[in-house]
Structure formats: C-alpha cells, structure tokens
C-alpha cells in the first residue's frame, strides 16, 4: 500500500501526533459541509471532527451518515465507528493476522481464542490515508 505525503502546519501536526508517529489522516468527505480538513482514522478523532461539524446530541438519537454518498441511518453514538468503514480502517490480530472491521471484534477474538490470548490489536490503515510529515522535515526524512 502506498500513501501520499502531505504537509501540515505545526498546530495540526501536534494535534494528530498525540497518538504517536506515524499518523495517518484521511480527507473529510462529509457532504454539505466540506471543510477540506484531514482527520485521523480513529473513533475519538472522527468523533471530535464530527463535533466540529455540529454533530452533537444524545448517542442513542438516530442520525444519517453523510460521508461521501452514504445515507445509512444509525445511532449517533455509532457514527464515528461507521465512518471508519468508509475510511477502510481495519484491525488485525497480531498473532493469527485475522483482519476485522472493528476493534471490539478483535478484542473478543483475542479473548476467546486459545492461540491468540496474548495477541494485540494492530490498526490496518485504509487505502486513502495520508502520512503526516512535519513541515520542518527535510526531504531526507520523508518516507
């Protein structure tokens, strides 16, 4: 899988690097409110981004996904996790390498598997991801 490199300002870089390098971000594709920003492919980052778009309210309220051409109706509390499917972000078991679409499913797999009991969940980045590179890096530091 190849990623395009994008450069961001120091403020944005500090926000996305809190989870540790490398940081992979995805272009916001919410319809009706294009912001042109990139969001990290985690449920917490997507949730924060959605709040910035005014998507707030009780988690059990119904809402529609407006990412790309999607119009699926779901609970507001599930929207961030749902958007990760649009980004192509998946999770893999570090032992048997099985890939699933949600972290909670991998955790259940690890908990119930006899051979994967000491495994960890590894994030598999989606195909449209961009690696964040500090603007102060020289070409020699780029991937």
All structural domains of the chain with their residue ranges? 4-89+126-141, 90-124
Res. 99: pLDDT tops 90: yes
The pTM of the full predicted model, rounded to 2 decimals, is 0.77
The whole-number pLDDT of residue 48 equals: 85
Where b means 16+ CB within 10 Å and e means fewer, 55-93 reads: beeeeeeebebbbeeeeeeeebeebbbbbbbbbbbbbbb
**pLDDT at residue 95 above 80?**
yes
pLDDT at res. 21: 62
More confident residue, 47 or 13: 47
Residue 34 confidence (pLDDT): 67
pLDDT > 60? residue 3:
no
């Amino acid at each position: 899988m190849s990623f395009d490199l994008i450069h961001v300002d120091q403020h944005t870089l500090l926000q996305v690097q809190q989870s540790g390098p490398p940081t992979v971000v995805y272009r916001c594709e919410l319809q009706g409110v294009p912001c042109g920003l990139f969001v990290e492919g985690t449920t917490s980052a997507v949730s924060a981004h959605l709040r910035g778009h005014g998507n707030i309210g009780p988690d059990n309220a119904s809402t529609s996904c407006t990412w790309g051409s999607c119009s699926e109706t779901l609970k507001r509390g599930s929207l961030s996790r749902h958007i990760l499917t649009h980004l192509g972000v998946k999770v893999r078991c570090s032992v048997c390498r099985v890939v699933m679409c949600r972290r909670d499913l991998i955790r259940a797999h690890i908990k119930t598997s006899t051979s994967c009991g000491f495994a960890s969940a590894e994030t598999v980045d989606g195909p449209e991801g961009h690696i964040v590179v500090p603007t102060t890096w020289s070409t020699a530091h780029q991937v």
